[in-house]
Structure 1
Amino acid sequence: MMSWRPMNRAPQDGRWIIAIDRHDPDRRAVIRWDPRRCGDARPWHVAFCEHSYPQDAFTDWQPFPDCPNCAEASPAAEAG
């Protein structure tokens, strides 16, 4: 598993990331930077809903892990 990185180094190019707040264990989300969507006040937008967070809402982030090759991982591929 990758280590957590400080939010001041999170990508601001629109890619989705995993974010947490070390001081609030219930605050964790899949988010992306998009200040044009709702103005600069809440630029971190949550996947699959309209909720957003201010710039300082999270303390740490991680990129998504690489996806496994689905064809290699499926039981049908092993039997074939």
Structure 2
Amino acid sequence: MWSWRIMDRAPRDGRWIIAINRREPDRRAVIRWDPRNSSDSEPWRVASCDHGYASDAFTDWMPFPPWPAQGEHADAGQSEIQAALGGETVPTGL
């Protein structure tokens, strides 16, 4: 079972996670801590753009669930997400 976790314990190693926006709690974002910008005032990066967010911009997070294997098409969805993230891989099995 996947449950929300407090942001204080979010990974800061560059992996993509799902987060709840503090100002808009009904919105979710795919974000990652950018180690290159950890001293920046906006170290959280959003997958859909290069915009950064402050450390306190999100309230809770969760990892991506494992990617379901479905035969020969198992990697097709992963490739689409990978392309949308600029070639980076979505973490699986966390």
Please indicate, yes or no, whether the TM-score normalized by the shorter chain is above 0.5.
Answer: yes
| Structure 2 residue matching 1:69: 3-state secondary structure | coil
Q: Is 1:13 equivalent to 2:17 in the alignment?
A: no
* Structure 1 segments of 4+ aligned residues over 3 angstroms from their partners: none
Residue 51 (structure 1) shift: 1.1
> Alignment identity in percent?
65
Relative to the length of structure 1, the TM-score reads 0.77
- Where does 1:1-80 land on structure 2 (aligned, <5 Å)? 1-21=1-21, 24-37=24-37, 40-71=40-71
Could you tell me which runs of 5 or more consecutive residues in structure 1 were left unpaired when the two chains were aligned: 75-80
Relative to the length of structure 2, the TM-score reads 0.66
Q: RMSD of the alignment, in Å?
A: 2.4
Could you tell me which runs of 5 or more consecutive residues in structure 2 were left unpaired when the two chains were aligned: 75-94
| Structure 2 residue matching 1:59: 3-state secondary structure | strand
Q: Determine which structure has greater relative contact order: mean sequence separation of CA pairs < 8 Å that are 6+ residues apart, divided by chain length.
A: 1
Residues 35, 44 of structure 1: 8 Å contact kept? no
Residues 35, 42 of structure 1: 8 Å contact kept? no
Tell me the number of residue pairs that the alignment of Structure 1 and Structure 2 aligns.
74
Residue 21 (structure 1) shift: 3.1
